[in-house]
Amino acid sequence: MTMSLKIERDKNRFRQIVRGKVRENLRRYINHGEMIGRKGRDLVSIPLPQLDIPHFRYGQNGGGGVGQGEGQEGQPIAKGDDEGEGTGQAGSDAGQHIVEVDVTLEELAEIMGDELELPRIEPKGNSTIQQEKARYRSIRRVGPESLRHFKRTYVEALKRQVIEGDYDRQKPRVVPIKDDQRYRSWETTPEPEANAVIIYMMDVSGSMTDDQKAIVRTEAFWIDTWLRSQYDGVECRYIIHDAAAKEVDEHTFYHTRESGGTRISSAYRVCSDLMDRSFSPDEWNVYLFQFSDGDNWGEDNRQAMELLNEKLVTRSNLFCYGQVESPYGSGEYIRSLEQTFGRDHEKVVLSEIEDKDAIFESIKHFLGKGR
Amino acid sequence: MTLKARIHTELNRLASLAGTNSVPQLLRIDTGDGHVESELTTIDQLACAFNRFAYKTDKLANSTIDELKDVANSLSSQLGYLLESISPVEIDDEACVVQMRSNPPEKDDDGTRYYELVVARGELTLLRYCKPPGQPRAIVAANVTREVFERLGEDFVDTVA
């Protein structure tokens, strides 16, 4: 018992160290997207090169020992080899061992929330969506061994032995047989949930390169991580556009490149239709994230603003626009948004993302509203 | 007189007026089915700088997107003398516009610079953009030799013809 407590204490201490290191390096992890390829279903594997893993340290033990034999102090113990022919030089840096630790997505979101000082999100009050949830509330006679209820099984065995007169108070041995086995079982119950949908819209026109998409992908990973930690159920939907827009799956979203022109209004139209069809704002907390290099084709701006204002902003918790700088610089679309909504709109958040190093601040800016 | 020679003469005329007229000066040469026009900010004996260079022509007024793509590709192979490879970046079938840009753009410590050539129904327009670090992108004057300037006019007209 004492031993297990000690291990638990050490484990907690280790987790604290890991959390500290993750926190220390969070900006780098965020900006360089190092975690995205390491994401499992619930865990993220994080490389921590600076982590000192526990190791033995030997004391002095009273200083030098006593040598024996004929040699004098400083005398080589064997003749050295002749000089070799190699030309390479030894490296000057210390070798590094990278330790990988698993952190749950919830923990990661918590660290990010603390580090970015993100306010907790207050869902829009309506939890009208019923979600089937499994709860381990009942006991059954059959089930997998992994769900065996130890205590119930022994109680059943004890009852049986008492009834059969096999129980000896002086020698209290309880041996369960097959019929005594009891297993945990679940019941599904409908529970109200505050649900959220994140709709990502991305410009995939010819001027958006793979580097810009990598930035979008990194941002989306952290946005997902945060919002999933704030809501019971989060759905993600993806829309891509050039001159025309369509809803796609996640993989297509990040890996499509088109050569068409840029009409942002087309994405807004598809987004509005999607909300009409599947995500009524009365039932869902709607988050809209749009990414583009801002090179919208001139005459489309007016139409885009109208759609955004009338159909999207009013029906969403938050509309975030990230203007990712392309090799040709940043377009004018963000200025049009500024003129229409101002810099301090309660629902519209604008961010210019010059390069990967700007991702950290951009996420902070997007999620800092607590909506 | 060839188009090149007419542009040359017009440049000389505008250069002689440079001291008296306000800049930018507008160069305009009729070509029968349209005109070449440019907004010049500087003209000297060997070179000039322009904010915009355009060829407006009725020949392109009803072009299909495929015809405009052909014009764009043809210009792409001819404009090597601008010392930046210009190729189509975005093609809008609906609006019938091909947007071409320097690919890759020119980059140094002062920022990013590139040409943008828009091939649309009725006109070809060449602009130069600059995006200094931390500042918004803006149209800047393109500095070219007179020889290049004259050749641009000739190539624009010949390609559409």
Say whether B90 and A260 touch across the interface (CB within 8 A): yes
Say whether B97 and A261 touch across the interface (CB within 8 A): yes
Percentage of residues in chain A having pLDDT higher than 70: 75
For B128, nearest residue in chain A (alpha carbons): A328
CA-wise closest residue to B40 among B13, B59, B62, B60 = B13
Distance of CA B50 to the CA centre of its chain: 9
Q: Nearest CA of chain B to the CA of A327: how many Å?
A: 7
CATH 3.40.50.410-classified regions of chain A: 194-367
Give the domain range for residue B149. 3-160
Q: Are A357 and A31 within 8 A, CB to CB?
A: yes
Peptide bond into A176 cis (omega under 30): no
Q: Are A205 and B99 within 8 A, CB to CB?
A: no
Mark out chain B residues that contact chain A at CB-CB < 8 A: 88-95, 97, 99, 101, 104-105, 111-112, 114, 129, 131, 134, 136-137
**Number of inter-chain CB pairs under 8 A, A vs B:** 61
Separation CA A356–CA A120 (nearest Å): 26
DSSP state of A83: P
Q: Is A137 helix (H, G, I), strand (E, B) or coil?
A: strand
Contacting residues for A155 by C-beta, under 8 A, at least 6 apart: none
- The reported pLDDT for the residue numbered B100 is 93
Phi-psi domain of A309 (left: phi exceeds 0; alpha: psi -120 through 50; beta: other) = alpha
CA-wise closest residue to A311 among A340, A278, A353, A269 = A269
Q: Nearest CA of chain B to the CA of A7: how many Å?
A: 53
User: Where residue A20 falls among pLDDT bands split at 50, 70, 90?
Assistant: confident
Separation CA A258–CA A240 (nearest Å): 10
| Average model confidence (pLDDT) across chain A | 80
For A60, phi then psi, to 5°, come to -80, -25
Separation CA A63–CA A369 (nearest Å): 62
Q: Based on the structure, what is the number of domains in chain B?
A: 1
Say whether B129 and A328 touch across the interface (CB within 8 A): yes
- The reported pLDDT for the residue numbered A273 is 95
Q: What is the pLDDT of residues A94-129, one digit of tens each?
A: 555 556 677 777 777 888 777 777 667 666 655 455
Which residues on chain A are in Cβ contact (under 8 Å) with B97? 261, 297
- The reported pLDDT for the residue numbered A61 is 65
- N residues, chain B: 161
Angle at CA A295, nearest 5°, toward A290 and A299?
100
- The reported pLDDT for the residue numbered A79 is 57
User: Where residue A85 falls among pLDDT bands split at 50, 70, 90?
Assistant: low
- The reported pLDDT for the residue numbered A363 is 87
Say whether B131 and A262 touch across the interface (CB within 8 A): no
CATH number of A194-367: 3.40.50.410
Window 253-272 of A: residues touching B by CB (8 A cutoff) are 259-263
Say whether B99 and A327 touch across the interface (CB within 8 A): no
Say whether A261 and B99 touch across the interface (CB within 8 A): yes
Q: What is the pLDDT of residues A197-251, one digit of tens each?
A: 899 999 998 888 888 888 888 888 888 888 888 877 788 899 999 888 999 998 8
CA-wise closest residue to A159 among A144, A176, A143 = A176
CB of A203 less than 8 A from some CB of B: no
CB of A36 less than 8 A from some CB of B: no
Separation CA A268–CA A245 (nearest Å): 9
Q: What is the pLDDT of residues A180-197, one digit of tens each?
A: 999 999 887 766 566 788
Residues facing residue B142 across a β-bridge: B50
Is this prediction's pTM over 0.90? Answer: no
Q: If you average pLDDT over each of A128-142, A166-180, B16-30, which comes out highest?
A: A166-180
Q: What is the pLDDT of residues B38-70, one digit of tens each?
A: 999 988 888 999 999 999 999 999 889 999 999
Using CB atoms, pick whichever of A261, A263, A328 lies closest to residue B91: A261
Using CB atoms, pick whichever of A259, A332, A354 lies closest to residue B91: A259
